C-alpha cells in the first residue's frame, strides 16, 4: 500500500472540549472531506494505537510524564502556564497521538507503506519537560528520537508550514547537526510563540542546519512560492534519510487565530515536493502530520490536499 492515513475515535479524543479551537470535532471534519473526495478508498486506513511510557521517555522527562499522568487522573489544572488545560484521559489521548505516529513509522520501515498521514498529530510546541500551546506530548520529538535510538536513522529533515513556529522541535534539537529543520511561519512579532527569527540557525556544531523563514501577517501563496525554493534547496543539501512534514492548516486564510493567507494549494504543493525529495533521498519515507488549523473547512481542505498529493506522487 502506498499511503496510510490514521483514523479512529481514539485520535479524536485528543481535543480540549467542544467549542475549543482544538476541539475533538477536528478529526471528523477532516474525515468527512476524505470520504467526499473518495480518498478513504485510495489510502490505507491505520487504526490509532497508544504508545508506551518507554516510547515517551525517548523524548520527554520522566517527571513531566508523571505529571501528565497525575493531572489526567484529576482532570484539573493546566499542563503549562495557561494554554493547555488537563482533561480526564489527556494522558491516554496524547499517548495515542504519539503511538499512531510511531506505528506509522514501523509500517513504513517494514515496507507495508511508503507514506503516512496522521491528522491529529504534529504537536510541535511541547517541550521535553512541559506542555505548550495545545501540545501535551511532542510526537515529532518522540519520532525523531525513535528514528535515531531504535532504528539508527540519524539524518532527519523536519519541514513545518504551520502558521506558528515549531519551537518545541527547534529548541529541543537546536544543537543537533543531524536534524535538518525548515520552518515557514508567521513572524513571531505578531503571533505565538514569538520565536523563529531568521537569525536562529542552530547552535554550536549545528549552526546552519536550521532555516527559519518568518512571514509577514497576510502572506499569501505568491509569498509562499517566493520562499519555498530555499526550503527545497536546504533539505536537498542536508541529504536526509527520512522526512517529516508538519502541515498545519492554520496558515490558510480564514483561520480564527492567525493572520496568514495561504490556500490549501500550498499544502498540496509542499507535500508533493517533499514526497519527490523523499523518493530521491529517503526511499520514499515520509510522515506528514496535520498540525494546527482551527477553521474546520480549512483543515479539511488542507489535510485532504496533503493526502491527495501523497497518493499522486
Ligand atoms: Zn499552529
Digit-coded pLDDT (tens) for 137-158: 999 999 999 999 999 999 999 9
Tell me how many degrees the CA angle 166-160-265 measures, rounded to the nearest 5: 140
Residue 80 alpha carbon to ligand 1 centre in Å: 17
Residue 1 alpha carbon to ligand 1 centre in Å: 30
Mean pLDDT of 235-242: 98
Residue 86 alpha carbon to ligand 1 centre in Å: 19
Half-sphere exposure of 57 (CA within 13 A, CB side): 6
- What is the rounded average pLDDT for all residues in the chain? 97
Residue 206 alpha carbon to ligand 1 centre in Å: 25
Neighbours of ion ligand 1 (CB under 5 A): 162-164, 248, 250, 292
| Residue 214, all three cell numbers | 518568518
Residue 306 alpha carbon to ligand 1 centre in Å: 16
Residue 210 alpha carbon to ligand 1 centre in Å: 19
Residue 189 alpha carbon to ligand 1 centre in Å: 15
Residue 217 alpha carbon to ligand 1 centre in Å: 14
Residue 145 alpha carbon to ligand 1 centre in Å: 22
1 has a pLDDT exceeding 90: no
Residue 8 alpha carbon to ligand 1 centre in Å: 22
Residue 191 alpha carbon to ligand 1 centre in Å: 10
Q: What is the pLDDT of residue 143?
A: 98
Which residue in this structure is represented by grid cell 489526567? 72
Which residue in this structure is represented by grid cell 474546520? 296
Residue 61 alpha carbon to ligand 1 centre in Å: 24
* Cβ-proximal residues to 187 (8 Å cutoff; 6+ apart), any chain: 214, 215, 216, 217
Q: For residue 146, which of 156, 135, 136 has the smallest C-alpha distance? A: 156
Residue 164 alpha carbon to ligand 1 centre in Å: 4
Q: Give the whole-angstrom CA distance, residue 228 versus residue 106.
A: 30
DSSP E strands, the chain: 3-6, 44-46, 115-118, 156-160, 179-186, 210-215, 242-246, 286-289
Residue 152 alpha carbon to ligand 1 centre in Å: 30
Does residue 235 or residue 19 have the better pLDDT?
235
Phi, psi torsion values for 140, nearest 5 degrees = -70, -45
| Residue 143, all three cell numbers | 519520532
Mean pLDDT of 230-241: 98
- Largest interatomic CA distance in the chain: 49
| Residue 261, all three cell numbers | 493567507
Sign of the dihedral through C-alpha 183, 186, 192, 195: positive
Q: What is the pLDDT of residue 18?
A: 87
Residue 125 alpha carbon to ligand 1 centre in Å: 9
202 has a pLDDT exceeding 90: yes
Residue 163 alpha carbon to ligand 1 centre in Å: 5
Dihedral angle, C-alpha 196, 58, 244, 173, nearest 10 °: 30
* Cβ-proximal residues to 288 (8 Å cutoff; 6+ apart), any chain: 115, 116, 117, 118, 244, 245, 246, 247, 271, 274, 306, 310
Enumerate the β-bridge partners of residue 211: 182
Residue 159 alpha carbon to ligand 1 centre in Å: 13
| Length of the chain counted residue by residue | 313
Residue 29 alpha carbon to ligand 1 centre in Å: 17
Residue 236 alpha carbon to ligand 1 centre in Å: 25
- What SS3 class is residue 176? coil
Sign of the dihedral through C-alpha 214, 219, 221, 226: negative
Residue 110 alpha carbon to ligand 1 centre in Å: 31
Q: Give the whole-angstrom CA distance, residue 134 versus residue 83.
A: 6
Q: Give the whole-angstrom CA distance, residue 234 versus residue 210.
A: 9
Residue 138 alpha carbon to ligand 1 centre in Å: 14
| pLDDT tens sequence across 56-107 | 999 999 999 999 999 999 999 999 988 999 999 999 999 999 999 999 999 9
Tell me how many degrees the CA angle 134-137-139 measures, rounded to the nearest 5: 110
| Residue 255, all three cell numbers | 483561520
Mean pLDDT of 301-312: 98
Please give the share of the chain, as a percent, with pLDDT higher than 70.
Answer: 100
Amino acid at each position: 500500500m502506498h499511503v496510510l492515513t490514521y483514523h479512529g475515535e481514539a485520535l479524536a479524543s485528543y481535543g480540549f472540549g467542544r467549542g475549543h479551537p482544538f476541539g475533538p470535532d477536528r478529526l471528523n471534519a477532516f474525515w468527512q472531506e476524505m470520504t467526499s473526495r473518495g480518498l478513504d478508498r485510495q489510502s490505507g486506513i491505520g487504526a490509532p494505537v497508544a504508545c508506551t511510557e518507554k516510547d515517551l521517555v525517548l523524548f520527554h522527562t520522566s517527571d513531566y510524564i508523571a505529571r501528565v499522568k497525575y493531572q489526567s487522573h484529576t482532570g484539573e489544572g493546566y499542563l503549562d502556564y495557561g494554554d493547555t488545560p488537563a482533561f480526564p484521559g489527556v494522558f491516554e489521548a496524547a499517548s495515542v497521538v504519539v503511538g499512531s505516529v510511531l506505528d506509522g513509522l514501523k509500517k513504513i520501515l517494514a515496507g507495508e507503506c511508503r507514506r503516512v498521514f496522521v491528522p491529529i498529530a504534529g504537536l510541535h510546541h511541547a517541550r521535553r519537560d512541559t506542555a505548550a500551546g495545545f501540545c501535551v506530548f511532542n510526537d515529532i520529538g518522540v519520532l525523531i528520537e525513535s528514528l535515531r535510538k531504535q532504528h539508527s536513522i540519524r539524518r532527519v529533515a523536519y519541514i513545518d508550514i504551520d502558521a506558528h513556529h515549531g519551537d518545541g522541535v527547534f529548541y529541543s534539537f537546536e544543537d543537533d547537526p543531524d536534524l535538518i529543520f525548515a520552518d515557514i511561519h508567521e513572524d513571531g512579532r505578531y503571533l505565538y510563540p514569538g520565536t523563529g527569527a531568521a537569525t536562529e540557525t542552530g547552535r554550536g556544531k549545528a549552526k546552519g542546519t536550521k532555516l527559519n523563514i518568518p512571514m509577514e501577517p497576510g502572506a499569501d501563496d505568491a509569498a509562499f512560492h517566493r520562499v519555498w525554493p530555499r526550503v527545497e534547496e536546504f533539505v536537498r543539501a542536508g541529504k536526509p534519510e527520512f522526512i517529516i512534514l508538519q502541515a498545519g492548516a492554520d496558515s490558510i486564510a480564514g483561520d480564527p487565530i492567525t493572520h496568514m493567507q495561504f490556500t490549501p494549494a500550498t499544502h498540496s504543493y509542499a507535500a508533493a515536493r517533499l514526497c519527490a525529495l523523499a523518493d530521491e533521498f529517503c526511499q520514499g519515507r515520509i510522515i506528514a502530520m496535520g498540525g494546527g488549523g482551527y477553521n474546520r473547512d480549512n483543515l479539511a481542505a488542507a489535510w485532504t490536499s496533503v493526502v491527495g498529493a501523497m497518493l499522486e506522487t
